[in-house]
Amino acid sequence: MTGAARREVEIKLPLPDADEGRRLLEEAGLHPASPRVLQHDIVFDTTDRQLSLAGSLLRVRQTGSLGLLTFKGPAEYGKHKAREELEVELPEPATAAAILERLGFESVFRYEKYRTPFAGPEPDGLVTLDETPIGDFLELEGPPEWIDRTATQLGFTESDYITVSYAHLYRDHCRARGLEPGDMVFPAQA
């Protein structure tokens, strides 16, 4: 949904690799709903980090030539992560990013992922296969009961649920390997 406030409820599930994710999804009767795409995300904040300190997020996402401007409010953590989400489609994401910079926001984190949305017989939620520079994940978004039922159908338990952001997972990944965090992007293709 774009242009209107909605409540996002989601979890991530870790995968050993994308092929295993595709196998699990196919066995559960889910199939790709659209082609795999590379998403480029830029997170913006004020110079004194007011948004992140408040637990909020301001992001410009580019997929091909189209984009989304997203605001996410502070998350409520429990078995699932829930938060307000406002989105609007952007015909020119680079221009939107430039406008945010002119308004005093700065780019604080960039991340990329290959995302493939999957659909099945139950239209209540969305499953995506996310291939990131730090590993592969399934993301389940929808009503809590649907998330739990779908996770179980895929062979996961509540102990597998991840409710933190990709930025948080990236910082943990870097910390565990003694790396200096930067942006979570794929190596440049030669």
pLDDT, tens digit, 9 for 90 and up, residues 62-80: 998 899 999 999 999 899 9
Rounded to whole angstroms, how far apart are CA atoms 174 and 45? 22
Instruction: For residue 98, list its beta bridge partners.
Output: none
pLDDT for position 3: 52
Give 158-177 pLDDT, tens digit per residue.
999 999 999 999 999 999 99
Q: CB 162: neighbour CB atoms within 10 A?
A: 17
- What CATH number should be reported for the domain whose range is 6-177? 2.40.320.10
Locate the domains of the chain by residue range.
6-177
CA distance 40 to 23: 26
Mean pLDDT computed over 9-32: 97
Q: Which residue has the tokens 């408040």?
A: 54
- pLDDT for 13 beyond 90: yes
- Two structure tokens written together for 106: 């700065």
CA dihedral 129, 110, 54, 135 (to 10 degrees): 30
Which of 179, 121, 115, 176 minimizes the C-alpha distance to 153?
A: 121
Position 190 scores a pLDDT of 46
CB 78 within 8 A of CB 148: no
**What is d(CA 147, CA 140) in angstroms, rounded to the nearest whole number?**
6
Q: What is the largest CA-CA distance in the chain?
A: 49
The residues that bridge with 131 in the sheet, in sequence order, are: 114, 136
